[in-house]
Structure 1
């Protein structure tokens, strides 16, 4: 192909693309125009249909308003009036909406305006005046009784209907027997009753005696006709019981309805209610006239020809548009065939690529099990389903025991084959509807649904254990692993999906600690306790950071010489809301926690600073500090203590005494003894606290390099009454003297305690009987007072 021809072909291709582009623009324009037209017509149709439904709603609500108004006029109850007002407001709102929907000044707009006008006139000209009259009657007890008699005419109507039924039945009997005279008498009786009822109704409406004349005349004629009828019946053509029943019902009508209503109407003529208003209320003519006119307008709106006309226009426009769209689409298809061929190939590639990406995003590539993403989604859906069905589900977190050793010894390829085999077995052990997912490494999570309770999961959990424990043959090697399972249940644990899996993970580690190849159920109560403990530790950490802890000091004295030999530092929490909190309320929470080390070092540092301050004030004695067993047994405790002493280099380390519990010292006497020796080299003294409460022996006492033994206050408190406690104290004092240890008694509360201890050879003491723990600022005044009295000298 020559260069010229090549340029010519390129030009043709460019022209073809340009023509295609122009046709596409043309097609899009036609489609846009047609769709805009059909949408405009559709909006008009929707508006007309909405008007149609609104008109029907107005008609229904209008009937409710009419019924509510009639109920109020009959009963006069306020609740009926409230119901009428509520439905009337709803009706006004619907009419207002109808006026808004109608645009322009056409026939429909005029009808809606007329409806609104009629309802306004009815309310002003009829409703308001009649309600006022009805309420006036309600306030007049006598008039009210007569009005209610007239208003409740249902009883008279029911009786009158029964009479008409009896007459009709007698007429049918005479007709069967071809008794023309009997039929004529029945017709005359019926006519008289109708005249009486018409005259009575006319009197009730007008209140004039002239209108009652047809009733009186009919009553006289009725008496004559009944007498003739009874004579005719005597001939045997009619049963006497039928005539008796007819006369009883006529008498009931006169006695229970007609005559009481006439008397009530006459009484009302004498009351304060105007005859014109009363007549209007009883007749209800104006109300029915207005309601009827409004309903006629609504019928005209509903059957308006514009609805059908607009619908027809839209159908015609839609047909034309669909024809145009069909032609244009045909042309478009003709020019797009070649393009679609190429696009089809690309689309298949894109769909296949997206499908692979979707699978990679939700499934594990090795085991083809759902991954963490799909697991989280399915677990959330299963939790919602459990809430609806009021059932439980189990989340089982599994970690293979011994897999790491196999992976390290046999290689990753063998490890992968083992994972595939074990995962397939575990999946097959689950029920249909349950789910197994791999979340990484040798960790799996199973979700078991439709459980009536936690116990329902135990068979499935055992199957999972058995499936994982079966030997797997890979090549020439037979490999064995087991699994540890942590189980959590929803809604027993009401956490979210992520927290449910985290709690199951925690339970799995407990299963491993318990010996592996078993399942362990997460304990929500223990977890709540751990959370509460965590919160308490957090509050204590915040208090330490914000310097809310303070030290109080309890003096220690020599009861024989009266000298103050030292003080014991006792920690307190100065809580901003709860006030001063004693140590037993917060120290147990941080026992065996790293925070206890920080708090213990703060106590030592504060005690060293206080020694310096008192020394500057002319006081010099030992401060005893309690050290927890957890802090004492830290391998670097001597080094950390040396650092604290270095930070307070101007303090004599011999004035610092560390108190350790006897029971703590006995936990590892060798290590504790080595730590104490290292601290002795720093110049720090030790005291063995609460001596006598542990299972001590002479060997332990001999090996622990403590300078002082403290007798526990539980023995001192009851020594005056309990010979056993007295004997224990005597023994402790003897042991201390034998091993050349100082001895001090805690819990000395009275002078009698002090004298008894002096008699046993124990000269040093502390307790409430000497002084209660006090802030550092109160020690100096107390020392001066104590030195003046020396009340404990023997």
Structure 2
């Protein structure tokens, strides 16, 4: 903000404060503050319609508005305006409530000084920018600028509601690029990212402006077509997309041909829930791929045979725990400042008797849906803690172990007792156990969530916020929970050297976390060029394929021997 002109709107009914505030702001050497003054909320709202301001100083005791109503009035008209609340000494709690309701900071009248006031305004502007960036990341994919999964679900629900009133149909399309993995493997991930951007642009040319295109992750896209009168309307758009995607893409100065498969489900008034509609579109996409790819298929009831296969998978999952078919692999976590191993994350795998070693994305969703995640989650926790004890008994230096808690596990009444019992039975030092939770479970039953996390924290275990930035990323909740660390999701780390927006957001997250006393772990670090960027931003720790793939317990022991017995650093894999 050096040499920056900052327009400040002072909303204060006591005109005596105007020269005082003006004098304090004039002492700034870094910025030039331009101060405007109004004494009524309505006057401020009228002015905000005509002019833009960089920050507002807001009195909560106005002749035409008192308390949070003044704040709400400003936020409704100017939601992007940073706000610093001025409060009386005896009314500081109201100012604190205002900050919890969306104001960026507050100062107490009578305790103001020029440095304090200027610092509060600077902080409010920076915090608002961070909040807006995180809000964007919560709803949009940074690579393609398309709505993400979260915003997609919101818009799908709204589209279904509108259909009930309009009588039109909604067509939901699930789309993905055929053999996209081959592009990543042969041309590299940069080319893969570029292809996703090109694909997003082509999709925009094929639909109307009022339709929603979203990227769910990887090469998976979805389109919501509203106000569809006939099934053929969706078919025409789908064929247009198939034809458009069949044209060559220029990647790394080469013409590359990639096709797209599409599954379509039609929604008529009240005939399906959003989850059923999504499932049907996904089944139709599977059918399109089964029919040779580069085509579209509408959902048909006979596709429900896939459910039979799903039921067989569920049955096998129930037997898997009894047959000891689940195994844990452990991925190294490295302290970036000293390049040393400090921990591992326990990751679940299924050693299927017929299909071999299955990755979690092939069965975790079914565990969640069926509730099997609870007994399996308990097995993971117990096995990980037991393994940590065995490593300690084998003479290896203590490393911490991170275990993921699912939302269903977290909501169990006996969770805290289960963790305590596991610690007691395995002899695990709670100091070396990190439990990872995701943002989504923080959004409901807040008081209960805080209570559970505090009880876990009282046991001595550390709580880590996983996949930060992929859910409802709000700066407001971080200080309310006993987190020891947060993990930046790999989708942001992946583009840290190629996307200045992602780099700026990661830097802001790290700075925020450190200010709150939290450590930061970067997930999904795969490339050497990502390390200097993370070190520059003072990221504490990292994990990813550049340090090592998830390892079996036996391979982990070999790694420990190589590192600890030789007292060596943790060297990254060669490029």
TM-score, normalised relative to structure 1? 0.33
Higher relative contact order (CA 8 A, sep 6+): 2
TM-score, normalised relative to structure 2? 0.45
More strand by share: 2
